[in-house]
Chain A
């Protein structure tokens, strides 16, 4: 922690708290906050002010039927979800039965070849966007290079973003692209994650701004 870093973080804290700080500046502040409880406390106070300011917009009565329409959507989706769940359970049960029969036959046919292979350990890391909201998660394996699954399911505008591994020192390295459609997106691939603290996997907009990031590093992934 240095005086200059604290000064820079505190200067940027109001914009970060309001959710309007973009790109590299936000990433740098977030990295500093992870190691500086004093600045984190200052940001928390700014966030309380930002929350209060948002609440100053007036309450207004929505058009008639507004709540009823949302209620119908939710209850309708829930009924469809229950039907899908029942179908999924039935299909999964059938698949499991078929698989178990197949496995038994394979083992019977090759009785000495069934060596158990340990799967790489997986760790789930939150992907965090502006205002500290969780927008998805990243699953990272302990293998090298790590197998990575990125799931975004909330609060990221539709579009194509690059996925970059960023270290506290050094230039970011692009490992792939992810397309968000209807607020959702997934990417699966391999990524070399340096065994150092402070490594993040960032979703970067074409403008270069960091939309959200997950604090991944190999040291944590193997713990």
Chain B
């Protein structure tokens, strides 16, 4: 019934259509909950963050601008910010970046845009991250998935701030190169 594009679903929510909202929740709940759980490491906290993220997306569907990014990235950013706020209030972050990468790439999503992203870039990125030196891999997971700032990465890894910034920057440049090469082949 709801095999529509992600941004069309958000547009439906913005008009107040509760069925569009139900389909939106059904489509993204696993991804949102998965990110929240990865960051927080506990069921209750992840559930609270995932619920608030989906409700915020519903409340602010009208301000979503597809020119600024995909629905998935918009939603993941909301989730990540909420989880970061929760983590900073509660306790030091207890996530192991190597454990995050031990998981397989996400299963194909239900939205067309998400499915395309997963089938193309996510698999390539996962492969490219696996080839990074260990310290860069840890830095990019902590910054890109967990949402730590360069300063927090430096404290966590016990390295100078400049080194943390360099690791993040170099990892991002290598991943960009990997994606660009894939697209131009």
Majority secondary structure, B binding face: helix
Tell me if A40 counts as interface (CB < 8 A to partner B): no
CA distance A47 to B74 in the complex (A): 12
Given contacts A53-B140, A155-B78, contact A14 B173 (CB under 8 A): yes
Tell me if B156 counts as interface (CB < 8 A to partner A): no
CA distance A53 to B60 in the complex (A): 24
Provide the residues of chain B in CB contact with A51, threshold 8 Å: 69-70, 72-73, 76, 117
Interface residue count for B (Cβ, 8 Å)?
Answer: 73
A20, A56, A62: the one contacting B122 at CB < 8 Å is: A56
Q: Which of A11, A14, A78 has the most CB of B within 10 A?
A: A14
B127 CB to nearest A CB, Å: 11
| CB contact list, A1-55 vs B, under 8 A | 11, 14-15, 17-20, 22, 45-55
Tell me if B10 counts as interface (CB < 8 A to partner A): no
**Contact call B165/A70, Cβ cutoff below 8 A:** no
Given contacts A19-B147, A60-B30, contact A11 B56 (CB under 8 A): no
Given contacts A49-B179, A55-B106, A154-B63, contact A60 B147 (CB under 8 A): no
Provide the residues of chain B in CB contact with A50, threshold 8 Å: 73, 144, 172
CA distance A60 to B70 in the complex (A): 21
Provide the residues of chain B in CB contact with A108, threshold 8 Å: none
A211 CB to nearest B CB, Å: 11
**Contact call B33/A60, Cβ cutoff below 8 A:** yes
**Contact call A20/B25, Cβ cutoff below 8 A:** no
**Contact call A55/B68, Cβ cutoff below 8 A:** no
**Contact call B69/A53, Cβ cutoff below 8 A:** no
B22 CB to nearest A CB, Å: 5
CA distance A58 to B106 in the complex (A): 5
A206 CB to nearest B CB, Å: 14
Provide the residues of chain B in CB contact with A61, threshold 8 Å: 30, 33
Tell me if A208 counts as interface (CB < 8 A to partner B): no
Provide the residues of chain B in CB contact with A58, threshold 8 Å: 34, 38, 100, 103-104, 106
Instruction: Show 14 residue pairs from A and B whose CB-CB distance is below 8 angstroms, ordered by the A residue.
Output: A11-B169, A14-B168, A48-B179, A52-B175, A54-B73, A56-B101, A57-B35, A60-B37, A62-B50, A67-B29, A74-B18, A74-B58, A134-B63, A154-B63
User: Given A51-B69, A54-B76, A55-B76, 4 other A-B contacts at CB below 8 A?
Assistant: A15-B149, A15-B150, A53-B141, A55-B106
Interface residues of A (CB under 8 A from B): 11, 14-15, 17-20, 22, 45-63, 66-67, 69-71, 73-75, 78, 81, 130-134, 153-155, 157, 183
